[in-house]
């Protein structure tokens, strides 16, 4: 007998209190070990039209809903007695007549009869009973068109009558593949049609594989029950499979706004490449250590403990990678100069030059964005370096005047045996650039929009030439660390091999729509590649995000604490919530919120989370990158905090000022789009100028 577990079961299990979760898991283990054990009490769900639904008693109030046939046993749902029975009474499990995929289908008439239970993490509104007044979205589609996407037969009439507003009410009741296909049609006018299952088993269809998992043994069941949230973090939609499996004729990129699954595509592609050949050596990397650790956890979830695949996949951050390769190449560990030491060396070199016209703000900016980024070696090279993104068009006399400052600082650091991070990248790049033997066969890079010149040069140097050895995943709208530059000039030409994802799986329609107003609908890079964000759609609906202004910081903290208390009263755990501030200077305001609410909290840091795993997450906006929560609070969005007054004061020219405003907007966008269902943005009056751009009415 096949033993399977449905995503509806793991989702429901995650909502139960810890004690009930433990009891439900124990019953699930017993069920897999021996479905006929006398201690298991099966009761048929008499009111369900699907005669294969049964209830199993966990304790006095908790029940597991199973779908039992002669050939298989499926864990379908778990909840309190009445809610579990209600769930089963309005559902059936069947193979779709057109696609062949097994679906969990809500019975149309039963949904009308019974008000659905609202779960905070996925609100399910009631089915509309009044005809739509606006023009129907799908009037041009036929019944066969709808069936081809996986729409159940008893929902076709509702879909054909629905306008945009009513469709968002219907969509949560449809199988996910049908809702997503119809959303894509509404956005771009093209209806994707999944291929019918080729195998006889309807559970083998790609759309069924996203819902049901066959469990071979107790260890697999334990893994499935212990990591339901991770499961969704690595979910791959069938429409993304072609990007994962495609062989490219050169460097390639997958782009798309927040929540569209770029990281998931990168993960699956890296694992697929590692599985492709016994001699594969795949690098999965990103720009920071916390993000690399998160990628590593998700990659392990995909690979399991496969002795063959795990050694072929190396997951690390780019700084760690550069340090590792430096030691391999030169036999010693680099002694890295801190930013404070670099600033001190520049100041002393400027003092030694003795030029009264020296502007240290400009010197620091020029060192970071030109001298170090492009590894300028001498005055002649400095006179020829391209000045992309630099408004100051310096003449030769100006460059000759300030070059001794940079040369002096570099000499001072070198005499002390210190090396800058950019120099590490440069020396490793030079070491591997002319070598035929490369450390990796394939390289997959996540959050690629924040790569700098040294990082991209290194990747180009250590990647084998030709083929699809380089693959990038990123969103220009989430660039928060680096100034733009030409990738093509460094030998990484993505033209003709860039794909933009359009379906958002993580963030509700309301939150995505508000956050998107912070950014332009089209984003173009230096090489002319354009990302069109206009047609992006979310696959689920939710509450409207909120913006609140308070007269004082204390009032703000009390208001947020009340909001968090309400969230947990509605069923969320503190660990489902993230609280973000612009910088470390505002962290005390976040800790005050946790204190007033009476919540344990953990701080997100570059080294990892510090605090209890089940606690409220608190961190800066920069550390929000790559994370996701059911609810997010972005607080302390005060005037002069975002955009950051210190960054504005430090700019060297008008182009830098424009870049500061652009990246500050993108930083707020990144923070807001970490939220799945609920988003609250707060400030003390008058608040950031960006908040009005969200166009959220209260």
Q: Between 191 and 590, whose confidence is greater?
A: 590
Q: Quick one: three-class SS letters along 311-345?
A: HHEEEEEHHHHHHHHHHHHHCCCCCECCHHHHHHH
Range of weakest confidence among 164-168, 186-190, 235-239, 451-455: 235-239
pLDDT band at 373; cut points 50, 70, 90: confident
3-state SS class at 673: coil
Judge whether residue 75 has pLDDT over 70.
yes
CA dist., res. 52 & res. 46, Å (int): 10
pLDDT in tens, 226-272: 665 455 455 666 567 788 988 999 999 998 888 888 998 999 999 99
413-424 residues labelled b (16+ CB within 10 A) or e (exposed)? beeeebbbbbbb
Res 118: pLDDT? 31
Range of weakest confidence among 259-263, 501-505, 610-614: 610-614
State mean pLDDT over 81-98: 94
pLDDT band at 335; cut points 50, 70, 90: very high
Range of weakest confidence among 1-5, 112-116, 203-207: 112-116
CA dist., res. 15 & res. 211, Å (int): 18
Res 609: pLDDT? 58
Judge whether residue 486 has pLDDT over 80.
yes
Class of residue 245 by CB neighbours under 10 A (exposed 0-12, middle 13-18, buried 19+): exposed
Res 76: pLDDT? 95
pTM for this prediction: 0.74
Q: How far is CA 303 from CA 272, 332, 488, 608, in A?
A: 10, 33, 34, 23
Q: Between 524 and 60, whose confidence is greater?
A: 60
In the chain, % of residues over pLDDT 90 = 46
State mean pLDDT over 505-522: 87
Contact 515, 544 (CB under 8 A): no
- What is the CATH class of 2-212? alpha beta
DSSP label of 397: H
The pair of structure tokens assigned to 13 is 């299990």
Which strands form 470-473's sheet, in the order they lie side by side? 313-317, 282-286, 442-445, 470-473, 252-256, 498-501
Helix/strand number for the chain, H first, E second:
26, 25
Res 430: pLDDT? 94
pLDDT in tens, 292-329: 988 898 888 777 666 678 889 999 999 999 999 999 99
Res 337: pLDDT? 93
Res 538: pLDDT? 81
Res 236: pLDDT? 66
CA dist., res. 457 & res. 461, Å (int): 6
Contact 624, 291 (CB under 8 A): no
State mean pLDDT over 162-186: 83
Mean pLDDT across the chain, nearest whole number? 85
Res 142: pLDDT? 92
Class of residue 333 by CB neighbours under 10 A (exposed 0-12, middle 13-18, buried 19+): exposed
Judge whether residue 392 has pLDDT over 60.
no
- Say which residues have a Cβ less than 8 Å from residue 167's Cβ, sequence separation at least 6: 137, 159, 182, 186
Range of weakest confidence among 166-170, 353-357, 477-481, 598-602: 477-481
- Strands (E) in 81-192, as ranges, are 91-95, 102-106
Residue with tokens 């690595």: 234
State mean pLDDT over 182-203: 71
pLDDT band at 213; cut points 50, 70, 90: confident
Judge whether residue 120 has pLDDT over 50.
no
The pair of structure tokens assigned to 560 is 């947020």
- Say which residues have a Cβ less than 8 Å from residue 662's Cβ, sequence separation at least 6: none
Nearest Cα residue to 467 out of 246, 161, 649: 246
- Sorted by where each begins, the domain ranges of the chain are 2-212, 232-331+424-537, 339-418, 543-694
Judge whether residue 125 has pLDDT over 50.
no
Q: What is the CA 504 to chain-centroid distance, rounded?
A: 10
Res 121: pLDDT? 36
- Say which residues have a Cβ less than 8 Å from residue 414's Cβ, sequence separation at least 6: none
CA dist., res. 224 & res. 513, Å (int): 33
Res 233: pLDDT? 53
Res 56: pLDDT? 93
- Say which residues have a Cβ less than 8 Å from residue 41's Cβ, sequence separation at least 6: 56, 57
CA dist., res. 499 & res. 11, Å (int): 31
pLDDT band at 130; cut points 50, 70, 90: very low
CA dist., res. 664 & res. 656, Å (int): 12
State mean pLDDT over 625-640: 93
Nearest Cα residue to 513 out of 689, 675, 688: 675
The pair of structure tokens assigned to 527 is 């090489």
State mean pLDDT over 372-383: 88
- For the chain, helix, strand, coil in percent to 5 are 45, 15, 35
pLDDT band at 289; cut points 50, 70, 90: confident
Matching fold, domains 2-212 and 232-331+424-537:
no
DSSP label of 427: H
Res 302: pLDDT? 77
State mean pLDDT over 1-25: 88
Residue with tokens 């059936």: 92
Domain 232-331+424-537 adopts which CATH fold? Rossmann fold (3.40.50)
pLDDT band at 141; cut points 50, 70, 90: very high
Mutual orientation of helices 318-330 and 289-303 as an angle, nearest 10°?
Answer: 90
Residue with tokens 């966008």: 669
Q: What is the CA 481 to chain-centroid distance, rounded?
A: 17
Q: Between 84 and 183, whose confidence is greater?
A: 84
In the chain, % of residues over pLDDT 70 = 88
- In CATH, the architecture of 543-694 is 3-Layer(aba) Sandwich (3.40)
Res 671: pLDDT? 95
């Amino acid at each position: 007998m096949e033993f399977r577990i449905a995503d509806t079961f793991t989702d429901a299990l995650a909502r139960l209190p810890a004690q009930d979760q433990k009891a439900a898991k124990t019953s699930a283990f017993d069920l897999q070990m021996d479905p006929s054990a006398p201690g298991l009490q099966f009761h048929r769900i008499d009111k369900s039209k699907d005669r294969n639904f049964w209830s199993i008693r966990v304790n006095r109030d908790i029940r597991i809903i199973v779908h039992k046939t002669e050939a298989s046993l499926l864990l379908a749902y778990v909840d309190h007695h009445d809610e579990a029975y209600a769930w089963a009474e309005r559902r059936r499990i069947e193979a779709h007549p057109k696609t062949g995929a097994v679906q969990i289908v809500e019975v149309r008439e039963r949904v009308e009869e019974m008000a659905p239970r609202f779960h905070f993490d996925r609100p399910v509104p009631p089915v509309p009973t009044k005809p739509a007044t606006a023009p129907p979205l799908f009037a041009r589609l036929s019944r066969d068109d709808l069936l081809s996407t996986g729409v159940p037969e008893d929902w076709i009439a509702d879909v054909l009558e629905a306008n945009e507003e009513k469709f968002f009410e219907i969509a949560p009741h449809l199988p996910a593949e049908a809702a997503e296909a119809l959303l894509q049609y509404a956005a771009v006018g093209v209806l994707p049609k999944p291929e019918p299952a080729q195998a006889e088993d309807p559970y083998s269809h790609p759309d069924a594989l996203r819902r049901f998992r066959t469990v071979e043994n107790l260890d697999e069941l334990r893994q499935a029950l212990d990591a339901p949230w991770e499961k969704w973090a690595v979910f791959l939609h069938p429409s993304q499979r072609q990007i994962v499996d495609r062989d490219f004729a050169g460097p390639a990129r997958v782009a798309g706004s927040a929540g569209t699954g770029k990281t998931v595509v990168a993960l699956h592609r890296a694992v697929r490449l590692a599985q492709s050949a016994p001699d594969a050596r795949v690098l999965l990397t990103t720009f920071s250590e916390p993000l690399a650790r998160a990628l590593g956890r998700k990659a392990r979830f995909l690979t399991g403990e496969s002795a063959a695949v795990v050694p072929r996949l190396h997951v690390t951050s780019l700084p760690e990678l550069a340090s590792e390769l430096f030691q391999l190449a030169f036999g010693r560990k680099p002694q890295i100069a801190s930013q404070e030491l670099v600033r001190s060396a520049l100041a002393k070199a400027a003092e030694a030059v003795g030029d009264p016209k020296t502007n240290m703000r400009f010197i620091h900016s020029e060192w970071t964005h030109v001298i170090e980024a492009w590894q300028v070696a001498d005055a002649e090279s400095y006179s020829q370096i391209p000045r992309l993104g630099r408004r100051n068009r310096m003449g030769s006399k100006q460059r000759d005047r300030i070059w001794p400052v940079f040369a002096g600082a570099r000499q001072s650091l070198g005499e002390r045996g210190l090396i800058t991070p950019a120099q590490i990248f440069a020396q490793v790049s030079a070491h591997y650039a002319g070598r035929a033997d490369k450390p990796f066969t394939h390289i997959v890079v996540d959050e690629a929009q924040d790569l700098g010149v040294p990082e991209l040069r290194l990747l180009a140097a250590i990647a084998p030439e030709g083929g699809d050895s380089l693959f990038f995943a990123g969103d220009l709208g989430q660039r928060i660390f680096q100034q733009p530059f030409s990738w093509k000039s460094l030998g990484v030409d993505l033209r003709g091999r860039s794909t933009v994802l359009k379906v958002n799986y993580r963030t509700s329609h309301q939150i995505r729509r508000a956050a998107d107003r912070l950014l332009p609908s089209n984003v173009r890079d230096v090489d002319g590649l354009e990302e069109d964000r206009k047609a992006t759609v979310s696959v689920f609906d939710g509450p409207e995000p909120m913006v609140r202004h308070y007269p004082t910081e204390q009032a703000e903290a009390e208001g947020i604490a009340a909001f968090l208390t309400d969230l947990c009263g509605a069923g969320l755990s503190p660990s489902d919530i993230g609280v973000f501030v612009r910088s470390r200077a505002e962290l005390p305001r976040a800790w005050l919120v946790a204190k007033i609410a009476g919540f344990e909290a953990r701080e997100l840091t570059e080294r990892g989370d510090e605090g209890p795993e089940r606690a409220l997450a608190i961190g800066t906006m920069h550390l929000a990158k790559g994370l996701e929560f059911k609810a997010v609070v972005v607080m302390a969005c005060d005037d002069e905090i975002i955009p950051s007054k210190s960054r504005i004061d430090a700019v060297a020219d008008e182009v830098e000022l424009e870049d500061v405003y652009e990246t500050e907007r993108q930083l707020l966008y990144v923070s807001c789009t970490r939220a799945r269902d609920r988003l609250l943005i707060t400030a003390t009056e008058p608040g950031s100028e960006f908040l009005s751009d969200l166009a959220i009415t209260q």
